[in-house]
Amino acid sequence: MIFRRLNTLFTSIRWRKPFILILLAVREILRPIFYWYAWHIFETDISQDLLKPYSKEDVEVKVYTPQDYTLIIQKQISAMGELEPAEIGRRFARKDLIAIAVVREQPVGYMWMAISQGLELAYDTYWTVRSHEAVKYGSFVIPALRGRAINSCLNSAVNSYLRNIGIIRSLSSISILNPQSMSLPKHYKRPIAMTVFVAHIRGLNWNIRKSFRAPLESRFTWPKKREIIRPF
């Protein structure tokens, strides 16, 4: 557990620019009273031509549905070092699917897909997933094989799988503080559909939400209660 956290911390430092590192540090210092996230939201029409992967590795991608969920799959996923078994179980229980990338018969990364309601962005802010839509989330590639565009193979395989089951639009959120993830939409020159800011004030138990480029309620829902809500 400690090793995982140290590893994540080291990787975050290695691939982020000084300005982003300062922002992340300030966010951590303020965590006991105030925490925030900012994402770019992307929407891709996958009924059209699918984007080609650009990895030079020989990558095979297999998709597993909740019906395929076994202890072996759970062990394969958690052995990659990011997710605890309980979290994997929660995702399958929500009926999410996973695409696992395999290189030389070794699982090396994955991408999750949510095709029903219930996926939380953060702080009680939930994706609106309409029929024929799916959210791609939680991409991960093992540190030893990062930088070889394996994520692009996962992305293409996931889009292709989704199209085959009748999905026409894939959605995703990428933290503006995560240049490793932003590489994929930059490579394909994907336009940003919306930028979302979500913050939580601890003592007051308030959530603040704000969107740019498009109205927040066009893509997200949240409980209408004692909160500061600032839609577009």
Ligand X SMILES: CC(C)(COP(=O)(O)OP(=O)(O)OC[C@H]1O[C@@H](n2cnc3c(N)ncnc32)[C@H](O)[C@@H]1OP(=O)(O)O)[C@@H](O)C(=O)NCCC(=O)NCCS
Q: Is 107 in the site for ligand X (CB under 6 A)?
A: no
For ligand X, give the closer residue by CB, 11 or 218.
11
Among 141, 162, 194, 196, binds ligand X (CB under 6 A): 141
Phi, psi (deg, nearest 5) at residue 217: -70, -10
Among 44, 151, 156, 207, binds ligand X (CB under 6 A): 151
Q: How far is the CB of 168 from ligand X (least distance, A)?
A: 22
Per CB under 6 A, does 89 bind ligand X?
Answer: no
Query: CA-CA distance, 115 to 118, in Å (whole number)?
Result: 9
Task: Report in angstroms how near the CB of residue 81 gets to ligand X at its nearest.
Answer: 10
Annotate each residue in 152-181 with x if it binds ligand X (CB under 6 A) or - if it does not, as one string: x---------------------x---xxxx
Task: Check binding of 78 to ligand X (CB under 6 A).
Answer: no
Residues 16-75 that bind ligand X (CB under 6 A): none
Provide the phi-psi class of 191: left if phi over 0, else alpha when psi is between -120 and 50, else beta: beta
Residues that bind ligand X (CB under 6 A): 15, 138-141, 146-152, 174, 178-181, 183
